């Protein structure tokens, strides 16, 4: 059975890691986590915040609210 020649993986599916911008202060993206807004806070989300995987932002998100948080220096910024 031959493989389908049109079944080519896209570049988006081949991406290894999710996008994380660089911190403007530290100049690295190793410690960057997303800020989550308007989510129901569960024990799982609180545990992820304690582990440094996410940052919980609050109930309402304004237009100019930051999207990213640096765990190393504490800087918050938009992309």
| 47-62 pLDDT tens trace | 999 999 999 998 888 8
Using an 8 Å Cβ cutoff, are 66 and 35 in contact?
yes
Query: Taking 70 as the threshold, does the pLDDT of residue 35 lie above it?
Result: yes
Give domain limits for the chain: 19-77
Query: Taking 60 as the threshold, does the pLDDT of residue 73 lie above it?
Result: yes
- DSSP letter, residue 60: -
pLDDT value of residue 8? 59
Query: Taking 90 as the threshold, does the pLDDT of residue 19 lie above it?
Result: no
Give ∠ CA 74-23-63 in degrees, rounded to 5. Answer: 80
Q: Give the C-alpha separation, 55 to 73, whole Å.
A: 14
Mean pLDDT rounded to a whole number for the chain: 84
In sequence order, which residues have a C-beta less than 8 Å from that of residue 24 and are 6 or more positions away?
75, 77
Using an 8 Å Cβ cutoff, are 72 and 33 in contact?
no
């Amino acid at each position: 059975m031959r493989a389908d020649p049109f079944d080519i993986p896209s570049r988006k599916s081949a991406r290894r890691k999710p996008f994380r911008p660089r911190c403007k202060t530290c100049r690295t993206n190793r410690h960057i986590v997303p800020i989550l807004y308007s989510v129901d806070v569960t024990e799982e989300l609180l545990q992820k915040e304690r582990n440094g995987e996410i940052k919980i932002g609050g109930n309402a998100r304004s237009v100019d609210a930051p999207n990213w948080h640096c765990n190393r220096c504490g800087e918050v910024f938009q992309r």
